[in-house]
């Protein structure tokens, strides 16, 4: 029996040593790649705007009667590149704007509290300093749905419509496990520091339609800032945001809500929550899509056509 335990112990020791060697190799490789990728990050895709003593990246192109402001979901490493497959189909008709909140894309990681009141104030200030004036058609993905609703509630003159790209709603978080999500994100952050996250951002997991150079840029951004403290802290602020939103009437503005099959959200009754919310509004349209959560990377052609028709009917 003692001999068997010794053999098992030696096997476990070898496994641990091999694991440590593997992690050291991955860590070293990632550091080498990050050093090579520094040049890719020297020229932001958008304009850097000073807000609260830090730099926030605002991307803008095109022109038109309507200004579409895209707001990314939680943890999307590069919102500018993530939304490109959709807004590239809309830029000939509208002014396109992508806000990269602190902790995202080319914007600074600020490591401060990330209440939705703060996020909204900073986003509005950045847009104003960039010379991008309301009214806006907000196009939120996932968690940014909360910001869009709060925006429309508190500044109704600034929001003429919302186009939800599988956006989250207050009831999406009724059974949300905040502590479990925080633990997962902190583990993911460790994975970024070790370099393991680089393997996640393979070509197949990146947004559709990106060139090889854009894929390399997306990967460089993700390996530098994915799942940072800003992302974690804003997730912890969801509860207070939901409470505040629930304390005010639903925004009475036109809404076009694209809904995924819900399988990638991890939230039960995803589509039912969306439909119930829309049923309580006077001017909301639901479009169900048979695809994953990043609807703008799966059904961009359909979404762009539906958006053009919807925007054309806004009075």
pLDDT at position 14: 76
Distances from the Cα of 77 to the Cα of 72, 73, 269, 286, angstroms: 9, 9, 27, 28
Angle at 309 between CA 72 and CA 208, to 5 degrees: 40
Give the Å distances, CA to CA, from 178 to 51, 168, 237.
28, 15, 10
> Consecutive sets of 10 residues in the chain, 315 residues long: mean pLDDT of each?
66 80 83 84 93 96 95 94 96 97 95 94 97 96 97 96 96 82 78 82 82 90 89 92 94 94 86 92 93 93 96 86
Are 11 and 142 members of one domain? no
Residue 101 CB neighbour total at 10 angstroms: 25
The alpha helices in 195-266, defined as continuous H runs, are 197-200, 212-225, 229-236, 238-246
One domain for residues 10 and 122 = no
Residues 35 and 177 both lie in one domain = no
Question: Residue 305 contacts by C-beta under 8 Å, 6 or more apart in sequence?
Answer: none
Whole-angstrom Cα distance, residue 107 to residue 100? 6
| Under 8 Å between Cβ of 148 and 73 | no
Query: What CA–CA distance (Å, rounded) separates 109 from 14?
Result: 39
Q: Are residue 108 and residue 196 in the same domain, yes or no? A: yes
Do 12 and 125 sit in the same domain of this protein? no
Task: Give me the domain span that covers residue 30.
Answer: 2-39
What is the number of domains present in the chain?
2
Local structure of 280: helix, strand or coil: coil
> Pairing relation of β-strands 136-140 and 255-259?
unpaired
Verify cis geometry, omega within 30 degrees of 0, for the bond prior to 59.
no
Same domain, 16 and 47: no
Beta-sheet strands, E only, within the chain:
47-51, 54-61, 67-71, 95-100, 136-140, 159-165, 255-259, 284-288
User: Is there a single domain that holds both residue 131 and residue 6?
Assistant: no
| Tally of CB atoms within 10 A around 133 | 10
Sign of CA dihedral 189, 191, 192, 197: negative
Same domain, 227 and 270: yes
**Residues 74 and 105 reside in one and the same domain:** yes
Domain of residue 146, CATH code = 3.40.50.1820
Task: Identify the bridge partners of residue 259 per DSSP, sorted by sequence position.
Answer: 288
H or E element that contains 174: none
Indicate if 212 and 64 belong to the same structural domain. yes
What pLDDT is attached to residue 174?
A: 87
Asked if 221 and 132 sit in the same domain, the reply is: yes
Do 62 and 49 lie in a common domain? Answer: yes
**What strands, in cross-sheet order, belong to the sheet with 95-100?**
47-51, 54-61, 95-100, 67-71, 136-140, 159-165, 255-259, 284-288
- Taking alpha carbons only, the member of 82, 78, 84, 107 closest to residue 96 is 84
Q: Is the full-model pTM beyond 0.85?
A: yes
For the chain, percent helix, then strand, then coil, each to nearest 5? 50, 15, 35
Output the pLDDT for position 1: 60
- For 48-75, b/e burial (b = at least 16 CB within 10 A) is bbebeeebbbbbbebeeebbbbbbbbbb
Q: What sign has the CA pseudo-torsion 157, 154, 280, 242?
A: positive
């Amino acid at each position: 029996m003692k001999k068997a335990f010794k053999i098992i112990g030696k096997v476990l020791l070898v496994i641990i040593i091999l694991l440590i060697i593997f992690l050291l190799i991955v860590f070293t490789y990632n550091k080498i790649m990050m050093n090579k990728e520094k040049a890719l990050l020297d020229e932001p895709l958008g304009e850097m705007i000073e807000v609260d003593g830090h730099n926030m990246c605002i991307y803008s192109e095109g022109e038109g009667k309507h200004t579409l402001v895209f707001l990314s979901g939680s943890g999307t490493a590069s919102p500018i590149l993530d939304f490109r497959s959709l807004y590239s189909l809309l830029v000939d008709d509208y002014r396109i704007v992508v806000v990269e909140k602190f902790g995202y894309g080319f914007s600074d990681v600020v490591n401060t509290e990330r209440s939705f009141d703060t996020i909204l104030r900073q986003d509005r200030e950045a847009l104003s300093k960039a010379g991008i004036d309301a009214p806006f058609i907000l196009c939120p993905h996932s968690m940014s749905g909360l910001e869009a609703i709060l925006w429309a509630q508190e500044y109704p003159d600034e929001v003429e419509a919302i186009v939800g790209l599988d956006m989250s709603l207050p009831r999406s978080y009724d059974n949300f496990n905040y502590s479990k999500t925080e633990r997962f994100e902190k583990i993911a952050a460790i994975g970024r520091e070790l370099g393991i996250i680089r393997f996640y951002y393979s070509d197949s997991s990146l947004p559709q339609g990106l060139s090889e150079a854009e894929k390399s840029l997306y990967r460089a951004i993700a390996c530098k800032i994915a799942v940072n403290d800003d992302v974690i802290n804003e997730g912890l602020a969801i509860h207070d945001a939901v409470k505040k939103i629930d304390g005010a009437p639903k925004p009475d503005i036109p809404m076009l809500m694209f809904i995924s099959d819900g399988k990638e959200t991890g939230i039960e009754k995803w589509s039912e929550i969306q439909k119930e919310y829309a049923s309580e509004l006077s001017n909301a349209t639901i479009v169900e899509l048979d695809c994953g959560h990043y609807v703008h990377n799966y059904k961009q052609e359909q979404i762009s056509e539906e958006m053009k028709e919807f925007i054309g009917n806004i009075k």
